[in-house]
Amino acid sequence: MCQGSIHITYILIYSITYINIHIFYINIQGSTTFIQTYSSLVKAFRDGTFQFLPTFKHGDTVVNESYAICLYLESHFKSQGNQLIPDGPEEQALMFQRMFEGLTFYEKLGSVIYYDWYVPEGERHDSALKRNKDGLVVELGLWEGYLSKGSGSFLAGKSFSLADVVVFPTVAFLFRFGLSAGRYPKLAEYYALLKDRPSIKASWPPHWLEGPEEELLLKDI
């Protein structure tokens, strides 16, 4: 299995969500391309060219934002490695549905694990954090149900797809911050199934290898 396009895609997702300050250079079919992350953010504000980051440049084509870059890569390099967008209309519809539902999933997660970061100290309220946690519980139940009732082990059926590429980092964050495998067994099975894929291991955030988060913010969820 060629790992090229999948490996690049995971780098994109992890870069934007973990705010790594790096520029990644990637060689695709002999041409050097790059992905910029938040290292360009200050400059973008200063010169008025702020864009959705990361930025991907392929030849003279520039694409911004992780999902857009993932779709572009799969469209232009679909002959390399795994096919990430299924051919069948029903499978394709489900894949796109799960893929874009992943945006809400990550938003619900972020509202809990980044609450103290997003909200100034004087504006924080236990009741607001509780609402955020309740919203995440509902969202977790939704995805636990998808995996329980699905026709395969992956988010959109029996094959690894672009939905898994963009949603798995959210699932990885969940268990990184202490989500209980006992309370969410299907999500735990899904996490265990994907975390050792070569393309995922190759793009695992380096500091994750050092140990778990000090604050397991989701252990009681």
pLDDT class of 25 with cuts at 50, 70, 90: very low
pLDDT value of position 146: 96
Query: Would you say 9 and 65 are in contact if contact means Cβ atoms under 8 Å apart?
Result: no
- pLDDT at position 69: 84
Q: Which residue has the tokens 């200050």?
A: 42
Q: Give 169's DSSP letter.
A: H
CA dist 221 and 215 (Å) reads 13
Lowest average pLDDT, out of 85-94, 99-108, 149-158, 198-207, goes to 198-207
Whether the predicted pLDDT of 120 surpasses 80: yes
Q: Answer with the residue of higher pLDDT: 17 or 171.
A: 171
Q: Residue 21: is its pLDDT beyond 50? A: no
Domain definitions of the chain by residue range: 4-76, 89-210
Residue 193 pLDDT: 95
Angle between helices 66-76 and 89-113 (to 10 degrees): 150
**Between these two residues, 220 and 58, which has the higher pLDDT value?**
220
pLDDT digits (tens, 9 = 90+) for 195-210: 988 888 888 888 888 8
CB neighbour list of residue 169: distance below 8 Å, 6 or more residues apart: 10, 13, 14, 17, 106
Pick one of 3.65.10.10, 1.20.1050.10, 1.10.3720.10, 3.40.50.300 as the CATH number of 89-210. 1.20.1050.10
Q: pTM to 2 decimals?
A: 0.78
* Mean pLDDT over the full length of the chain: 79
CA distance 208 to 177: 11
Q: Express each pLDDT in 52-93 by its tens digit.
A: 567 777 888 888 888 888 888 888 888 887 889 999 999 999
Determine the average pLDDT of the residues in 155-177: 93
- Tell me which amino acid residue 42 is: V
- Flag the least confident range among 129-138, 151-160, 192-201, 207-216: 207-216
Report how far residue 70's alpha carbon sits from residue 99's, in angstroms, rounded to the nearest whole number: 11
Question: Could you report the per-residue pLDDT of 28-45, keeping only the tens digit for each?
Answer: 444 444 444 444 444 444
pLDDT value, residue 52: 56
